[in-house]
Amino acid sequence: MITVIGLDGSPLGPDAAAAVAAATLVVGGRRQLAAAGVAPGTRTVELGPVAPAVAELVGHAGDAVVLASGDPGFFGILRCLRERGLACAVWPAVSSVALAFARAGLPWDDAQVVSAHGRDARPAINVCRAYPKVAVLTGPGCGPAELGLALAGWPRRLVVAERLGSPDERITACSPAEAAGRDWAIPNVVLVLADVPPPAGPGWAWPAVAGHTAVPGAPGGWALPEEDFDQRDCVITKAEVRALALARLAPGPGQLIWDVGAGSGSVGVECARFGAAVIAVERDRRRCGRVEDNARRHGVAVRLVAGEAPAVLAALPDPDAVFVGGGGALVVAAVAARRPARVVAALAAVERTGPVHETLAAAGYAVEGVLVQAARLSPLPGGVHRLGALNPVFLLWATKTPVADRPGGPADRPGGLADRADPAGRGGGPADRAGGPADRAGPAGGAGSAGGGLG
């Protein structure tokens, strides 16, 4: 029999203590083994890499105990044991996430929980950028300091819970910049919080469902009507174009999307409604205000960068996908140099389509595209209708091919995780976005159109 016991700093209960006393093999971390009072002479295996310890358990003939932090079934070792077909009795303790929120005096049924331990940290970081309340199970190379660095530019505050349940437990509230500038004890859990009003009343699902907005009366679905966005002084991507663009961008939790030439921000806002982190780039100050207004209207977080592409793109963290609504081949080339997995470009001018296609193909992308021509039913007197044509838009989408991938990926870019691991210390028409007089494109292929485009 294998008994898995969670520890949270409290004394072992009688059943857990009896299991430890009867075991002929006890597996756990150094701290857990010291805290559990393992009898002298009992065989112990200090838990480092999981695979060797699981192999010991598979080959063991007697009773065994596995000691784990908090709840072993919540991002813990229980999953590994069950994947190997091992039957287990489980005595959980309070999870580190529950303890961290308790120490902060916060409810957490509206929180996201992500793990950066032993895996690519970028999805976890992007969830922190997208959601207002996130708990991060940290790991080497993605501790509080690294999270602080990666969250530069996002309005967040951190609560760092170090060595929960131990005599030297410490709870620290700080800014991302403060977290980035110091060392932290291991283990730790980080709460990443945005100063936004809490949801009105309890939610209906945990974790929160991507695409669900807490704003009362906000519309459901996607490819929303233009009327759902404030588009004064802006051009806006028509819903028919936006639907295909969103399908090709494939936004979701853990992804970072750039909306370059954001205009009204409709594409970026819809990406954020799917749970993605979003950076909207827009050069026009009035339109910047529209982007922020539309994000608030839909209850999502969109980080706005006011400036001209491609110059402002250099300081941004690497994206997973990019929508280019403004700019020609020059902007697209700068985007492709960052090696996102997917690039979608909306183009009103025929002359720009060929150069943009060539630029993406030359960068090693597989490029496809369509001319989107839509006509909407429009009522006429007498109860009949006509078809009102929208301006046609070229939509190109490009996907990165593995053979064309190049060095200098996300870890090497601003907001990535390169050089941050520190195992010894930190641990852990005016209304028609494309076409005719409303097209905001500047000189063909130049940067003059980049902060304006098909928002």
pLDDT tens-digit profile of 173-207? 999 999 999 999 999 999 999 988 776 666 777 77
In 3D space, the residue among 260, 316, 231 whose CA is nearest the CA of residue 449 turns out to be: 260
Looking at residue 200, its pLDDT comes to: 66
In 3D space, the residue among 153, 452, 152, 454 whose CA is nearest the CA of residue 308 turns out to be: 452
Structure tokens at 154: 């996002």
Strand partners, 259: 280, 323
Q: At what angle do helices 285-297 and 266-273 cross, to 10 degrees?
A: 30
Q: Decide the pairing of beta strands 2-7 and 64-69.
A: parallel
Cis geometry, peptide bond prior to residue 198 (ω within 30 degrees of 0): no
Q: Does the pLDDT of residue 398 top 60, yes or no? A: yes
Cis geometry, peptide bond prior to residue 219 (ω within 30 degrees of 0): no
Alpha-carbon distance values, 162 to 44, 127, 172, 400 (Å): 26, 21, 8, 40
Looking at residue 452, its pLDDT comes to: 36
| Rounded Cα gap, residues 97 and 117, in angstroms | 14
| Rounded Cα gap, residues 261 and 269, in angstroms | 13
- pTM (two decimals): 0.84
| Rounded Cα gap, residues 83 and 93, in angstroms | 22
- The backbone torsions φ and ψ at residue 152, rounded to the nearest 5 degrees and listed phi first, read -60, 130
- Mean pLDDT across the chain: 86
- The Cβ of residue 44 has, within 10 Å, a number of other Cβ atoms equal to 17
| Rounded Cα gap, residues 146 and 157, in angstroms | 14
Alpha-carbon distance values, 449 to 229, 331, 336 (Å): 22, 9, 17
Cis geometry, peptide bond prior to residue 437 (ω within 30 degrees of 0): no
Mean pLDDT lowest for which of 124-138, 302-316, 324-338, 409-423?
A: 409-423
Domains along the sequence of the chain with CATH: 2-94 (3.40.1010.10), 97-193 (3.30.950.10), 226-449 (3.40.50.150)
- The backbone torsions φ and ψ at residue 253, rounded to the nearest 5 degrees and listed phi first, read -60, 140
- pLDDT single digits (tens) 63-113: 999 999 999 999 999 999 999 999 999 999 999 999 999 999 999 999 999
Looking at residue 197, its pLDDT comes to: 76
Q: Does the pLDDT of residue 414 top 60, yes or no? A: no
Residue, of 355 and 197, whose pLDDT is higher: 355
Write the CB contacts of 258 (distance below 8 Å, at least 6 apart in sequence).
278, 279, 280, 281, 313, 316, 319, 321, 322, 323, 335, 340
Q: At what angle do helices 266-273 and 239-249 cross, to 10 degrees?
A: 50
**Do residues 292 and 278 touch, judged by C-beta distance below 8 A?**
no
Looking at residue 255, its pLDDT comes to: 97
Q: At what angle do helices 329-336 and 350-362 cross, to 10 degrees?
A: 20
